[in-house]
């Protein structure tokens, strides 16, 4: 774990660097308060800090106060090193946001124990953040494929449509459906069907741009959102998806399974297709027509969203 040492005394700084390295820390050095603040506000900054109270530039207590005002999610555990012994000074340091303080001169084992407590607090917060992120992912993603779930992908579409309206852009939408998926489940079993869903989702996801979105709309249906895309581009992209997915069979424990997909495409290029429901409905009708026309093809909704 990285630890910041902010200390203007060269000999003491070198001694602390050597000692902390021996205890398994990666020491980051600051010679004054301004440098300490810059390091603590940088990307991938140390989560543990030893700040001398009295330093050139900003004093340690001021560095601590500024860091706390930012209210970062990744908590920084700050220990003040001080020769101040008045109760009022100690209270000032703690009110500025210091987590602990240690009086100079101090015993090495005392500092080591306090650093151990600080490191444990940082590790516990990391575990809490990881658990929170895991629950967020479970709430917003499909458990089988890892794609956005139905509610999230529709919400994303609403946000993208609102942004497109402000910026006078178009949003392309693709509805994709695995052909004869029930037959795959009936013939090869649901475990093989699950693998088909998962690997198909992964292949399509790999073809997305960094700012595209794909989610599970329901069953074996996928919804693809293409910001800043015309109807023509969305249609061409759907065709690339179709060719890519159908070009290789999927290797499952039940044997190789060949699959195809049908696609319906629409775009928010006019007032009639201006909300998520209308756009999805237009793409879904185009998908239905692709199914009627023999599957394994791309059908495009008319520019006005109407379908015969």
Spatial contact of 171 and 227, defined as CB atoms under 8 Å apart: yes
Closest CA to 288 of 259, 268, 306, 262: 262
The partner residues of 256 in beta bridges, in order of sequence, read 251
Q: Would strands 48-52 and 26-30 be described as parallel, antiparallel, or unpaired?
A: unpaired
Residue 304 has a pLDDT of 58
Residue 222 has a pLDDT of 98
Closest CA to 261 of 230, 227, 223, 225: 223
- Number of Cα atoms under 13 Å in the Cβ half of residue 75: 17
Residue 303 has a pLDDT of 65
Distance CA 1, CA 49 (A): 11
What is the model's pTM?
0.66
Phi and psi torsions of 76, nearest 5°: -110, 130
Question: Which domains, and CATH codes, for the chain?
Answer: 2-137 (3.40.50.2300), 150-300 (3.30.70.270)
C-beta neighbour count of 275 within 10 angstroms: 14
Tokens 């023509």, located at residue: 232
Give the ranges where 168-275 is alpha helix by DSSP (H): 181-188, 190-206, 231-247
Length of the chain measured in residues? 308
Q: Is 220 one of the annotated active-site residues of the chain?
A: yes
Spatial contact of 216 and 153, defined as CB atoms under 8 Å apart: yes
- Tens of pLDDT along the chain (308 residues)? 999 999 888 888 888 889 899 999 999 999 999 999 999 999 889 999 999 988 898 988 899 999 998 878 889 999 988 876 676 767 777 888 889 888 887 888 888 998 999 999 999 999 998 888 888 888 899 999 999 999 999 999 999 999 998 888 899 999 999 999 999 999 999 999 999 999 999 999 999 999 999 999 998 999 999 999 999 999 999 999 999 999 989 988 888 999 999 999 999 975 566 789 999 999 999 999 999 999 999 999 986 555 44
The pair of structure tokens assigned to 8 is 């203007």
Spatial contact of 251 and 192, defined as CB atoms under 8 Å apart: no
Tell me 164's DSSP state.
Answer: H
Closest CA to 265 of 296, 232, 294, 306: 232
Distance CA 19, CA 22 (A): 5
The pair of structure tokens assigned to 78 is 């700050």
The helix or strand, by DSSP H or E, that contains position 69, with its residue range, turns out to be: helix 60-70
Distance CA 224, CA 174 (A): 5
Which of 35, 62, 220, 299 is flagged as catalytic?
Answer: 220
Residue 245 has a pLDDT of 93
Extract the runs of DSSP E, i.e. beta strands, from the chain.
2-6, 26-30, 48-52, 77-82, 100-103, 171-178, 213-218, 221-227, 250-252, 255-257, 261-267, 298-300
């Amino acid at each position: 774990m990285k630890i910041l040492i902010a200390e203007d005394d060269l000999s003491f700084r070198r001694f602390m660097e050597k000692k902390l390295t021996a205890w398994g820390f990666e020491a980051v050095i600051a010679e004054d308060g301004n440098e300490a603040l810059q390091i603590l506000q940088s990307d991938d900054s140390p989560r543990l800090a030893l700040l001398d109270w009295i330093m050139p530039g900003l004093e340690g207590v001021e560095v601590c106060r500024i860091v706390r005002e930012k209210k970062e999610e990744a908590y920084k555990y700050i220990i003040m090193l001080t020769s101040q012994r008045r109760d009022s000074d100690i209270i000032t340091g703690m009110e500025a946001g210091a987590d602990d303080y240690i009086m100079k001169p101090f015993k090495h084992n005392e500092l080591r124990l306090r650093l151990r407590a600080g490191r444990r607090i940082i590790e516990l917060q990391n575990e809490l953040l990881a658990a929170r992120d895991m629950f967020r992912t479970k709430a917003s993603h499909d458990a089988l494929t890892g794609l956005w779930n139905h509610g999230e992908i529709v919400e994303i579409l609403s946000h993208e449509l609102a942004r497109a309206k402000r910026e006078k852009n178009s949003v392309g939408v693709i509805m994709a459906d695995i052909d004869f998926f029930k037959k795959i489940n009936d013939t090869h079993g649901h475990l093989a069907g699950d693998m088909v869903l998962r690997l198909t989702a992964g292949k399509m996801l790999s073809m997305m741009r960094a700012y595209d979105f794909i989610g599970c709309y329901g069953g074996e249906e996928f919804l693809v959102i293409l910001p800043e895309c015309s109807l023509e581009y969305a249609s061409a992209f759907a065709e690339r998806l179709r060719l890519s997915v159908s070009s290789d069979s999927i290797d499952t424990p039940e044997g190789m399974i060949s699959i195809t997909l049908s696609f319906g495409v629409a775009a928010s290029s006019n007032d009639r297709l201006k909300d998520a429901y209308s756009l999805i409905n237009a793409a879904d009708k185009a998908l239905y027509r692709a199914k009627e026309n023999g599957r394994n093809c791309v059908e495009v909704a008319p520019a006005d969203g109407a379908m015969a």
